[in-house]
Amino acid sequence: MVVTRPKKSRRLVHPDEWEWLAKVSTLERMRLYRVADQTGLKTTQLRLLKYDDIRFDAIPPFIDTPRGPRVITSGLAAELGRMSRWVYHPFNIPHHQPLELLLGMDRHNARLRWIEAAASPVERSQREASNFLKRPSDQEWGQ
């Protein structure tokens, strides 16, 4: 019998969550999250990404990777195009922190801010019970 470990649960950031993540994160990290979300690239792949890998003028725009092109939206391409062209690696990801940890911290802080923004005690209670902005691991363990 072959025993395999289950893969980590991953989920895309829900469209409603982007607004709250932007309130607690830096512009650079928001770009990083959007690229990861749209391309499926992992932390190591994002670390190796070079500015020259981004094909801004292609239709549709894409990021050239060793495993093939990864399409991105024209809006994200325009946003990435506004970055300084002298930057060799567009994202400064700390080597000791995987993307999942950075996103998890920002998601946690965004959730706290979202709960605090509740207009009433009843709404606050409903928000606390919601899965909105929870990490997948929090949902699995009912935290």
Residue 75: predicted pLDDT: 93
Task: Map tokens 């093939």 to a residue.
Answer: 68
Residue 81 pLDDT grade (very low, low, confident, very high; cuts 50, 70, 90)? confident
Could you tell me which residue, 87 or 44, shows the higher pLDDT? 44
Which residues, other chains included, contact 81 with Cβ-Cβ below 8 Å and sequence gap of 6+? Answer: 54, 56
Going by C-alpha positions, the residue among 105, 124, 106 that lies closest to residue 25 is 106
Helices then strands, each counted (H, E), the chain: 7, 3
Q: What are phi and psi of 35, to 5 degrees?
A: -65, -45
Asked if the model's pLDDT at residue 3 lies above 60, the reply is no
Residue 135: C-alpha distances to residues 51, 69, 142 (Å): 30, 28, 11
Residue 25: predicted pLDDT: 93
Average pLDDT, the chain: 84
| Percent with pLDDT over 90 in the chain | 48
Residue 119: predicted pLDDT: 97
Residue 136: predicted pLDDT: 66
- Out of 21-30, 80-89, 115-124, least confident range: 80-89
Given a contact cutoff of 8 angstroms between Cβ atoms, the answer to whether 43 and 100 are in contact is yes
Which residues, other chains included, contact 110 with Cβ-Cβ below 8 Å and sequence gap of 6+? Answer: 17, 20, 21, 23, 24, 25, 133
* Alpha carbons 94 and 19: distance in angstroms, whole number: 24
Residue 50: C-alpha distances to residues 2, 5, 45, 81 (Å): 39, 33, 10, 13
Angle (deg, nearest 10), helices 27-39 and 15-24: 150
Could you tell me which residue, 52 or 143, shows the higher pLDDT? 52
pTM: 0.80
Give the pLDDT confidence of 7-60 residue by residue, as tens digits.
454 556 888 999 999 999 988 889 999 999 999 998 888 888 888 899 999 999
Residue 87: predicted pLDDT: 63
